[in-house]
Structure 1
Amino acid sequence: MAGTPPVCNFGWEAPGFTLPATDGRTLSLADIKGELGTLVMFICNHCPYVIGIRDRIIRDAGDLLKQGVGVVAISSNDTTAYPADSFDKMRALAEAENFPFPYLYDEDQSVARAYGAVCTPDFFGFNADLGLQYRGRLDAARMGQDPTGGSRDLFNAMVQIAETGNGPKDQVPSMGCSIKWKDKN
């Protein structure tokens, strides 16, 4: 089922976290915080929306890291119901795709809940003070469309945030598969 996040709540403070990474480390928000901003992405392995833009996520994340923006991806899906999102498969994907950012596992889903994550992908762009400035889409391409020449919304917003501390006033929300929540039995 597709989900769409709410509009950006400007200035909302990033909740802290400490999670295991696919490279064997345990990382906190402080560990990945960038000097000029921080991008927290909720993604997963199996979502067709994420699969369709994964190459552009990797490209934009690599470009943002060079600009002083910290980048992290977090998977929070229920791996019992969606075994393709298991930690071992996350590790394999991160290695195969050579992710330039840490890929963290939110097994108890507490981080996704703290952030109010709705879907994969869900992007949270913070300024240097960890105040939310962007909660929009990656780019203007829709699923199955050729993104050539399209606007790099997330990248451009994060560059603006790095330069000014403020995100764009107009933002188009991301769209993707809903977070796969665990049963609360």
Structure 2
Amino acid sequence: MAVSPPVCDFGWKAPDFTLPGTDGRSWSLKDVAGPNGTLVMFICNHCPYVKAVMDRIIRDAKDLAALGIGVAAISSNDAKEYPADSFDNMKAEAEKWGLPFPYLYDESQDVARAYGAACTPDFFGFNSEFELQYRGRLDASGKNPAPPDARRELFEAMKQVAESGQGPREQVASMGCSIKWKAK
């Protein structure tokens, strides 16, 4: 079922975390932070919305790193019910794609809850003070990629954050598969 997160709550502070990465080390928010901002994205292995844009996520992450934006991806899905999203499968996906950012496992789902993550992909763009400035989409892609010349909304927003500390006031919410929460 397609889900869209709420609009950006400008200035909301990023909750800290420490999570295991597919690279074998633990990462905190400060470890992934860049001098000009930080992008935390919630993704997973099996979501068709993520699969449709993974190459664009990687492209934008590389381009944002060059602007001093730190990037991390977090998977919080219930791996028992969705085995494709297991930590071992995350490691395989990270290797297959050659991810240029840490891919972190939120097994407890506490980080997803702290962030209010709603879907995959869900993008949280923070300035250098860890204040939320972007909660929009990557681009006009859905389950299928947008045309190659589609406006790079996430990249443009985070470039603005890197340069000014402020995100754009006009943002289009991301859309994707709901986070797969564990049964209570």
3-state SS, counterpart of residue 107 of structure 2:
coil
Contact 2:140 2:146 (8 Å CA) reproduced: no
3-state SS, counterpart of residue 71 of structure 1:
strand
Show CA shifts across 1:106-149 (max 9, x none): 00000000000000000000000000000000012333244211
Mapping of 1:153-172 within 5 angstroms? 153-172=153-172
Distance in structure 2 (CA, Å) of the matches to 1:118 and 1:56: 21
State the superposition RMSD in angstroms: 0.7
* TM-score (normalizing by structure 1): 0.98
Number of equivalent positions = 184
Offset of residue 52 of structure 1? 0.4
Distance in structure 1 (CA, Å) of the matches to 2:145 and 2:41: 22
Q: Who is 2:119 aligned against?
A: 119
Contact 2:142 2:175 (8 Å CA) reproduced: no
Mapping of 1:5-154 within 5 angstroms? 5-154=5-154
Identity among equivalent pairs (%): 67
Q: Which amino acid aligns with 2:42?
A: F
| Runs of 4+ deviating beyond 4 Å | none
Distance in structure 1 (CA, Å) of the matches to 2:120 and 2:141: 16
Structure 1 unaligned segments of length 5 or more: list them. Answer: none
Distance in structure 2 (CA, Å) of the matches to 1:9 and 1:145: 27
Q: Which moved more, 1:138-147 or 1:124-133?
A: 138-147
Q: Which moved more, 1:59-68 or 1:140-149?
A: 140-149
Q: Which moved more, 1:140-149 or 1:31-40?
A: 140-149
Q: Which moved more, 1:137-146 or 1:73-82?
A: 137-146
3-state SS, counterpart of residue 56 of structure 2:
helix
Distance in structure 1 (CA, Å) of the matches to 2:123 and 2:141: 16
With over 3 angstroms needed to count, the CA separation of the structure-2 counterparts of 1:145 and 1:99, relative to structure 1, is closer
Distance in structure 2 (CA, Å) of the matches to 1:146 and 1:76: 26
